[in-house]
């Protein structure tokens, strides 16, 4: 199991990073990214601390903790700049809070995030073919969400992404202990969105390859 989109108490999550990591270690995770919500007000506060915490905790855990960030409700015009700043600060995983249908995310956010070269476009709502094709071109993951509300468009997202041959990821968007996905539930999220078991296995391979790549940087 790999999850590229979770939250701890640095934003609206419930757990300190150590407990967060331990809980997914018990579930058998290979890697987890903690990607707390940020905009220009707190980017430089969260990322350096998460980089330091990950470096320390990874000595003691069989699960790799990846320091990340979720750029959340960021004006599309700021997405490119903040993505670059996040990477300069040490974020291994940059997630963009996409145009979910359950929040008033500004139109144009999906496209701006893809153009900025984020790693994961989270819960993108009514993803367009143009957006999916750009994700394919830039090797960006389109998320199938395990989170209530955000998951309502998973079927649409999977259909459009698969048609464009864009990479997909399954992420919990976990905020607390009850949100983490077991391996069985992650598979159900994918199959429920319309993926075949073969497509889900490819999804898992793509996520493993991504982790190998970013850890090697």
Q: What is the pLDDT of residues 131-140, one digit of tens each?
A: 999 999 999 9
Mean pLDDT of 66-82: 98
Estimate to the nearest angstrom the gap between the alpha carbon of 15 and the chain centroid.
Answer: 18
Write phi, then psi, for 70 (nearest 5 degrees): -115, 110
Instruction: Give me the pLDDT at residue 75, please.
Output: 98
Which CATH number does the domain housing residue 65 bear? Answer: 3.20.20.140
Instruction: Give me the pLDDT at residue 65, please.
Output: 98
Q: What is the rounded radius of gyration, in angstroms, for the C-alpha atoms of the chain?
A: 16
Model-level pTM?
Answer: 0.98
Single out the residue of 167, 117, 116, 164 nearest to residue 141, CA to CA.
167
Distance of alpha carbon 97 from alpha carbon 145, whole angstroms = 12
Instruction: Give me the pLDDT at residue 209, please.
Output: 98
Residue 183 scores a pLDDT above 70: yes
Number of domains making up the chain: 1
CB 154 within 8 A of CB 189: yes
CB 29 within 8 A of CB 52: no
Instruction: Give me the pLDDT at residue 217, please.
Output: 66
CB 155 within 8 A of CB 105: no
Range of 132's domain?
2-215
* Predicted confidence band of residue 216 (pLDDT cuts 50, 70, 90): confident
Q: pLDDT above 90 covers what percent of the chain?
A: 99
């Amino acid at each position: 199991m790999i999850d590229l989109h979770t939250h701890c108490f640095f934003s609206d999550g419930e757990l300190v990073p150590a407990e967060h990591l331990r809980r997914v270690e018990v579930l058998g995770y290979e890697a987890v990214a903690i990607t707390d919500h940020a905009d220009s007000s707190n980017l430089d506060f969260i990322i350096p601390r998460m980089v330091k915490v990950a470096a320390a905790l990874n000595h003691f855990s069989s699960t790799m903790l990846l320091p990340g960030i979720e750029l959340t409700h960021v004006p599309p015009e700021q997405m490119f700049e903040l993505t670059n700043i996040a990477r300069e600060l040490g974020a291994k995983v940059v997630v963009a809070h996409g145009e979910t249908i359950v929040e008033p995310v500004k139109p144009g956010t999906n496209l701006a995030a893809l153009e900025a070269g984020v790693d994961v476009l989270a819960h993108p709502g009514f993803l367009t073919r143009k957006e999916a094709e750009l994700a394919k071109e830039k090797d960006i993951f389109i998320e199938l969400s395990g989170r209530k509300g955000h998951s309502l468009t998973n079927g649409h997202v999977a259909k459009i992404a698969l048609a464009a041959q864009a990479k997909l990821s399954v992420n919990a968007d976990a905020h607390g202990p009850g949100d983490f996905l077991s391996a069985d539930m992650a598979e159900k999220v994918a199959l429920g969105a319309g993926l075949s078991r073969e497509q889900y296995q490819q999804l898992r391979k793509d996520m493993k390859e991504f982790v190998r790549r970013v850890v090697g940087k």
